[in-house]
Each structure stands twice: as C-alpha cells, then as structure tokens.
C-alpha cells in the first residue's frame, strides 16, 4: 500500500514538474515536443503524436515520436476518423476499437493505445495519441491524472499558439514598417527614438543603429518649420489636451536638415499611443518626403502667374486698340485702321494659341494620349516655312537651314509637328536675346529622320536639362523671369513627338547655347496607319 502511495506521489510530482516546464515555454514546437515526451514517459509508450486543428478545423499532425516519415501520409488520413470520434465524445468501447486498429496500422508491435483529447473548457485544442508494446490497466485515478495533464497541455498549446500569432503579426508589422516607402519612427514618452526604418535612414542620412536612443530633436533637426511643433504641443498638453473626439494626430511640416547637411522638405504625422491609464506611452511618427509636391505646387503657382501675365498682355492690347478705333472724336486713316486691326488680329491669334496649348495640356493629362491626323510630311519644307515666319520677328538673329537634298518624308501630323518646330524656334530666339546664329537642320539614317534646332544663347544646366520637358517647368534665372512663357511648350513638344513614337532630347551647357533634337520613324507603327 505504501509502495502504491509512493508511486502516486512520484507520478504527481513528475506531472507537476513537466506541467511547469510546458506552461513556461511559448515556442509551439517546443511545447508539443515536451507534451509528447511527458506523455510517453507517463504511459511507458514507444510511439506518439500530437495533432492540432488547422484554420479549417481539420486535424494535422504537428509532433511525432517513433513514427517513420514514410508513414506520415496515411497517418494523416486515418487521423481524421479518429479525431471525429474522440472530439464527438464516443463511448469507450468504440474509441478503443478504432484506436487499436489505428495504432496497429501505424506500428504492428503496438498492442495498446491511449487517446487523450486536449480540451479548454468545451473547446478541443488538440489530440494526444500514445501507443505502447504491452498491455496494462489504468485506474479511474490514472485516467483523471492523465486527462488533467492533457488539459494543462491544451492550455500551454493555446498560449503558444497565441504567442505564435502575435509574433507573426509583430514580424509582419515590422516588415511593413521596414519596407514602407515613408519614413517611420517610434518614440517613447520622453521623445527618445526607439524605432527607425530604412526609408527614414535614406531621408535623414542617419543609420538606425546611430539614431536609436537619441532624442527626437537631435535627429529631426528643422531648418525651417512651416506648421506644427511637437515639443510645444506636448508642453501644451498634447494629446490629452484634445478633448473633442476624432483625430488626435499632430502634423508638422517644414525643411529638415539631413545628417550630411542637405535639406529635405518633409511632412510628419505624429500619432500618440496611450496606456490603460490614459497616459502617453509612445508616439508613432510617419515622415513623408514632400519635396516633389512642393516643387509641383511652386511650378503650378508659377504657371498660373505666367498664364495670367500671358493672357493679360494680349487682352490689354486688344482692348486698347479696339477702344482707340471706336473713338468718335478722331477720324482714322485707312492705314491706321489697318495697322490697329492687324495688332488686334495678331494678339487674338496669340490668345488662341495660348488657349489651344492649355486645352491640349489639359486633355493630355486627362486622357493620357493625343489624336494624330497623319499625312506625308516633308520636315525640311516645314522647317523652311517656320524659319521664314520667325525671321520677321527676330531681326537680330541669323538663320541657317542645313538639310540634305534627299531628305525623306515622314508619315505624321503636319499641324502638330509645326507646333513642335515653332516652339523650338521661339525658345531659341527668346533664350539668345543678344542675337547670333540659329541653325535648323536634319538628317536621315536607317528607318528614322531627325531635326535639330541649335542656338548660341544662355544654355541650360544639367538640372534644367533633366526637367525641361516637365509640365509647367521654367528655367530659373533673370532672363527667364523677363521672358514670357507658361512652361507648357516643351512639355507639349515632347508629347507630340512621343505620340509619333519618336524621341526628343537636348544637349547644352551654361553659356554655350542649346541643341534640341527630335527623331521620328519614317514608317509609322501599324496601329497608327
């Protein structure tokens, strides 16, 4: 009797120790390994497995001991029926019969098997099956001890699964943050940096390992702040001071000084995270590079100003000349009437051209394409007529045409290509105000023909050459500010050339003039024919 009591005590001590070891572990694979080890040790088993339900509720083997890998396929199939019986609460004889068949099918040496459902309340969390090569009895007390262990194992498995899901979410979130196109920074309540992603490294010039632990103000060093102030907001009680429901984020925008001394325009959205007591625990900062947005905004403002000026001048001239002609106190000679009418017509044409450019640019932006009306076009003849027109407007410039005698025609939209040539010649005149030679020429090679316009003007910097074909872009300089223009001419020129499946480019240097060249295929794409 004493020996039996001693055995029970040792059994319970062993169960207590192994339960502690299992519940202290959060790695699911390790929990399952320990559960299986303890089960085999308590029951004297040689083979065993632990099966857990997947997202669809079907049980899958997650841990095995003593079962060859080649038997795993059929084991999974046989497991389905077993788990349905056990989890459905079938009577002992039915379960035992199926269990003996199941375990013998796995290993013929096994003569006895145990199936223990791992339950949390009424919810099944898994199934533990152990097989052994000898028969032995099990008292109700033994069964109770084993089931108690299985239930404790279910709790440990559930905890490990929860931790695994949380860890997966944490790693997923970390991957999203690290690979985000925006900069992400995590601050604690004292504004010390606790997180710093790769995009923020590129934006600030700081390496994450150097920035972590530093005060936010040491890394986020403002040259100029246009709106918002994190330090002042916190001093004023942010975010607790915001009592109305809704967005409690703080937006700060300005020019940031990078670690290498360069400046970057950024907008930062600070989002507070509160603890259970309502105190600020951390802050998530999302940083976005708004340099391009600001440049686009500045270009658009310049464009509006330029368009206003471009519209105002011809309108004023038209109104002034028309009002003069309507005066009743003066008799105008036919020559004066003809001269004033010519000015009105010329300025009306200028207005029409500007409006057409605006409409074309708007249509391109909305539709992303351009309709062409193709016919056979001689680019050398088109260039010759364009030069003749511009000679009257630029008496200080000399013009030179250089085209080979056998210059081939292209199948293109003549009106659109005239617009390209007019724009290139107009720019050549405007940006060489001291006169000089403007050369227009072309050549044909292979299946393409090209035309160039070369001037001896102020030229372009590398930065300007990269952006000169952008919508609304105008070269920054004293001459540009005195020169009329909307920043649409070269944008439309490129759109027209590319609509013909061609290319346009510029070669230039400050003070050395510029050469604009566009190239078109001699044979249009089949879709355009």
Higher pLDDT, 78 or 208: 208
Where in the chain do CATH 1.10.287.130 domains reside? 294-367
Handedness of CA 94, 97, 101, 104 (dihedral sign): positive
Sign of torsion, CA 216 217 223 224? positive
Adjacency order of strands within the sheet including 514-521: 397-402, 436-445, 448-454, 514-521, 503-508
In CATH terms, the superfamily for domain 2-174 is: GAF domain (3.30.450.40)
| Per-residue pLDDT at 482 exceeds 60 | no
Cα angle for residues 238, 242, 248 (degrees, 5° grid): 80
| Nearest residue to 54 (alpha-carbon basis) of 126, 2, 107, 106 | 126
From start to end of 146-262, where are the E strands? Answer: 183-188, 193-196, 221-227, 250-257
Q: What H or E segment, with its residue span, contains residue 372?
A: none
Q: 196: which strand partners?
A: 185
- Any idea which of 5-14, 21-30, 172-181, 378-387 has the lowest mean pLDDT? 5-14
Q: Are strands 375-377 and 263-274 parallel, antiparallel or unpaired?
A: unpaired
DSSP of 468-488, one letter per residue?
TTSTT----SHHHHHS---S-
Cα–Cα nearest to 262, from 209, 297, 296, 223: 223
**Contact between residue 255 and residue 224 where contact means Cβ atoms under 8 Å apart:** yes
d(CA 496, CA 494): 5
- Which residue's entry shows tokens 């105000």? 433
Three-state DSSP class for 38?
Answer: helix
**Residue 2 pLDDT class (50, 70, 90 cuts):** very low
Residue whose pair of structure tokens reads 């450019």 in the numeric block:
357
Looking at the predicted structure, is the pLDDT value of residue 246 above 90?
A: no
pLDDT-above-90 percentage for the chain = 26
Dihedral of the CA atoms 444, 445, 448, 451 (nearest 10)? -40
CA distance 218 to 214: 7
pLDDT digits (tens, 9 = 90+) for 130-158: 888 888 776 666 667 777 777 778 888 88
Name the DSSP class of 331.
P
Write down the architecture of domain 294-367 according to CATH. Answer: Orthogonal Bundle (1.10)
Query: Percent of the chain scored above 70 by pLDDT?
Result: 80
List where CATH 3.30.450.40 sits in the chain.
2-174
Burial of 440 (0-12, 13-18, 19+ CB in 10 A): buried
Cα radius of gyration rounded to whole Å, the chain: 41
Average pLDDT, rounded, for the chain: 81
Return the structure tokens found at 462. Answer: 């590398």
Lowest mean pLDDT among 259-263, 316-320, 422-426: 316-320
Q: Are 84 and 97 in contact (CB under 8 A)?
A: no
Phi, psi at residue 160, to the nearest 5°? -65, -40
Between 241 and 64, the more confident residue is: 64
State which H helix or E strand residue 330 sits in. none
**Closest C-alpha to 397, from 453, 347, 351:** 453
Cα–Cα distance, 70 to 51 (Å, whole number) = 17
- Determine the 3-state secondary structure of 209 from DSSP: helix
Q: Are 150 and 114 in contact (CB under 8 A)?
A: no
Question: Mean pLDDT lowest for which of 157-161, 220-224, 228-232, 506-510?
Answer: 157-161
Given the candidates 3.30.360.10, 3.30.565.10, 4.10.410.60, 3.40.50.150, the CATH classification of the domain at 375-528 is: 3.30.565.10
With 50 as the cut, is the pLDDT of residue 5 above it? no
- CATH code 3.30.450.20 region(s) in the chain: 183-289
What is the structure's pLDDT at 1? Answer: 36
Q: What architecture is the 183-289 domain classified under in CATH?
A: 2-Layer Sandwich (3.30)
Residues 6+ apart with CB under 8 A from 415: 373
């Amino acid at each position: 009797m004493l020996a039996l009591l001693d055995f029970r005590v040792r059994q319970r001590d062993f169960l207590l120790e192994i339960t502690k070891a299992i519940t202290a572990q959060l790695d699911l694979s390790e929990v399952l390994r320990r559960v299986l080890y303890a089960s085999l040790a308590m029951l004297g088993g040689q083979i065993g497995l632990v099966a857990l339900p997947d997202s669809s509720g079907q049980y899958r083997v997650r841990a095995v001991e003593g079962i060859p890998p080649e038997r795993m396929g059929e084991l999974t199939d046989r497991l389905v029926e077993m788990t349905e019986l056990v989890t459905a609460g079938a009577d002992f004889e039915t379960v035992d019969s199926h269990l003996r068949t199941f375990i013998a099918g796995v290993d013929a040496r096994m003569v006895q098997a145990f199936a223990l459902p791992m339950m949390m309340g009424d919810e099944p969390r898994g199934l533990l099956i152990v097989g052994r090569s000898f028969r032995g009895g099990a008292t109700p007390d033994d069964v109770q001890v084993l089931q108690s262990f299985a239930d404790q194992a279910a709790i440990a498995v559930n905890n490990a699964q929860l931790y695994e899901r949380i860890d997966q979410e944490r790693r997923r979130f970390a991957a999203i943050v690290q690979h985000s196109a925006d900069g992400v920074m995590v601050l604690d309540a004292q504004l010390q940096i606790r997180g710093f992603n790769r995009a923020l490294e590129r934006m600030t010039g700081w390496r994450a390992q150097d920035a972590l632990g530093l005060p936010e103000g040491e890394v986020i060093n403002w040259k100029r702040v246009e709106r918002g102030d994190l330090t002042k907001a916190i001093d004023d009680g942010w975010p607790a001071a915001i009592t109305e429901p809704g967005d409690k984020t703080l937006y700060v925008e300005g020019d940031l000084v990078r670690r290498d001394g360069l400046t970057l325009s950024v907008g930062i959205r600070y989002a507070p995270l509160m603890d259970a007591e309502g105190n600020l625990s951390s802050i998530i900062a999302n940083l976005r590079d708004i340099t391009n947005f600001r440049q686009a905004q500045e270009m658009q403002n310049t464009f509006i100003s330029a368009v206003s000026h471009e519209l105002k001048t011809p309108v004023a001239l038209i109104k002034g000349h028309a009002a003069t002609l309507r005066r009743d106190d003066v008799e105008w000679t036919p020559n004066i009437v003809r001269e004033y009418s010519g000015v009105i017509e010329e300025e009306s044409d200028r207005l029409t051209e500007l409006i057409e450019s605006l409409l074309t640019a708007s249509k391109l932006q909305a539709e992303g394409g351009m309709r062409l009306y193709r016919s056979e076009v001689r680019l050398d003849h088109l260039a010759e007529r364009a030069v003749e027109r511009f000679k009257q407007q630029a008496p200080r410039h000399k013009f030179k045409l250089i085209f080979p005698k056998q210059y081939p025609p292209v199948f293109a939209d003549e009106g659109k290509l005239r617009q390209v040539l007019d724009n290139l010649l107009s720019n050549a005149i405007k940006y060489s105000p001291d006169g000089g030679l403007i050369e227009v020429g072309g050549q044909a090679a292979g299946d393409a023909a090209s035309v160039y316009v070369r001037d001896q003007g102020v030229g372009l910097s590398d930065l300007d050459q990269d952006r000169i074909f952008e919508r609304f872009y105008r070269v920054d300089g004293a001459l540009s500010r005195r020169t009329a223009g909307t920043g649409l001419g070269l944008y439309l020129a490129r759109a027209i050339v590319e609509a013909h499946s061609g290319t346009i480019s510029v070669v230039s240097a400050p003070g050395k003039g510029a050469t604009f060249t566009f190239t078109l295929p001699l044979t249009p794409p089949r879709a355009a024919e």
